[in-house]
Structure formats: C-alpha cells, structure tokens
Amino acid sequence: QVQLVESGGGLVQAGGSLRLSCAVSGDTFSTYNVGWFRQAPDKEREFVAIISWSGESTTYLNSVKGRFTVSRDNAKNTVYLQMNSLKPEDTAVYYCAADPSRYSRSSKNYAYWGRGTQVTVSS
C-alpha cells in the first residue's frame, strides 16, 4: 500500500513563498507519476501540477505557471512544490497524489492520495 504525507503548508502574506513536500512510502516511488491538487472551500478539487516518474516531464495549471515549480528527489522518495509570489486565490488545502501509470490532470486517475496540507495566503 502506497502512503503519501504532505507537509510545509502554513500562513503566508501575499507575495511570499512556501515549499510543500510530499513524502511517499510503501512502493517503488521512482516509478510513480505524482500530481499536486488543491481544493478551496466550496470549490471543486483542481489540478495544480504534475511531474512524471523520471522528472523529465512537468505540467502546470495556467494560473500557477512561472510561480510554482514541481520537482522530485527519488533518493528521498519526496516530491516538492515550490510556490512563489503567492496570491490570496492560492488559498486551499493542497494534496499530492500518485499513480504508477497515468500522467493526468484528472483527479479521477490517481490511485493514492495524501490527506492534504493547508495553505493560507493573506492579502
């Protein structure tokens, strides 16, 4: 069973930065594609970024391009989401998700999920 644990969330002022981490255990992490999603109150969960198992491919939500960077360290079984120039509209619970075969923007295509970490950006 694959387990994912997010960390690094918190309260930050607009324009600030946070780095989220997603620690993965329970299987061969280096073979999994990992995505980041977020869900704000009263909104649907939305795709934020994804990184392929090799780290060679990344895809971003348009509104975070140039501000967020996804990366991974397979030796540490960890995926990171560096978030810069944060805006109040980035406020949400952020989740990481993993799948051994799919590289997808759809949350329906991920087999494993973490419990999320809260990111709050004040104006």
Quick one: pLDDT at residue 1?
Answer: 80
Quick one: pLDDT at residue 31?
Answer: 87
9 in Cβ contact with 18 (< 8 Å): yes
- What single DSSP character describes residue 29? G
Residues in the chain: 123
- Per residue of the chain (123 residues), what is the pLDDT tens digit? 899 999 999 999 999 999 999 999 987 888 899 999 999 999 999 999 999 999 999 999 999 999 999 999 999 999 999 999 999 999 999 999 999 888 999 999 999 999 999 999 999
Sign of CA dihedral 24, 26, 29, 32: negative
Neighbours of 64 (CB within 10 A): 22
R_g (Cα) of the chain, nearest Å: 13
